[in-house]
Amino acid sequence: MNILMIHGIGQEASTKDELFNKWVNSLHAVQPGLLDHGSVEMAYYGATLADWTNGNTKTAVGMGTESTAVDVDNADELKFLSAVMEEFVSANGIDEAEIESAMETVAGNAIPMDNFIARHLVGLMRVVEKISPAKGSILLRVIRQGHTYLTSPGAAKAVDDIVRPLLQRSPQVLITHSLGTVIAFKLLREMEETGTGVQIPLLVTLGSPLGLEAFKAKLGAPRRKPAFVEQWINFYDPSDFVTLGKPLNEKNFASNIHNDGTVDNDTFNAHGVIGYLPHKGVIDVLKSVL
| Predicted confidence (pLDDT) per residue in 168-193, tens digit | 999 999 999 999 999 999 999 999 99
State the average pLDDT for the chain: 84
Residue 63: its pLDDT value, please? 46
In this prediction, what percent of the chain has a pLDDT beyond 70? 78
CB atoms within 10 A of CB 204: 25
Q: Which of 98-102, 242-246, 251-255, 286-290 has the lowest mean pLDDT?
A: 98-102
pLDDT greater at residue 148 or residue 65 = 148
Across 211-232, average pLDDT: 93
Q: How far apart are CA 64 and CA 79, in angstroms?
A: 17
pTM over 0.85? The answer is no
Across 32-61, average pLDDT: 82
Q: Which of 24-28, 75-79, 158-162, 277-281 has the lowest mean pLDDT?
A: 75-79
78 with 232: CB under 8 angstroms? Answer: no
Q: Given a cut of 60, is residue 117 above it in pLDDT?
A: yes
**Closest among 256, 258, 262, 275 to 236, alpha carbons compared:** 262
**Closest among 37, 84, 284, 61 to 182, alpha carbons compared:** 84
Residue 138: its pLDDT value, please? 66
Q: What residues pair up with 61 in beta bridges, in sequence order?
A: 70
Q: How far apart are CA 86 and CA 35, in angstroms?
A: 40
Residue 58: its pLDDT value, please? 46
User: In the structure, what pLDDT confidence band is assigned to residue 234 with cuts at 50, 70 and 90?
Assistant: very high
User: In the structure, what pLDDT confidence band is assigned to residue 64 with cuts at 50, 70 and 90?
Assistant: very low
Residue 91: its pLDDT value, please? 74
190 with 23: CB under 8 angstroms? Answer: no
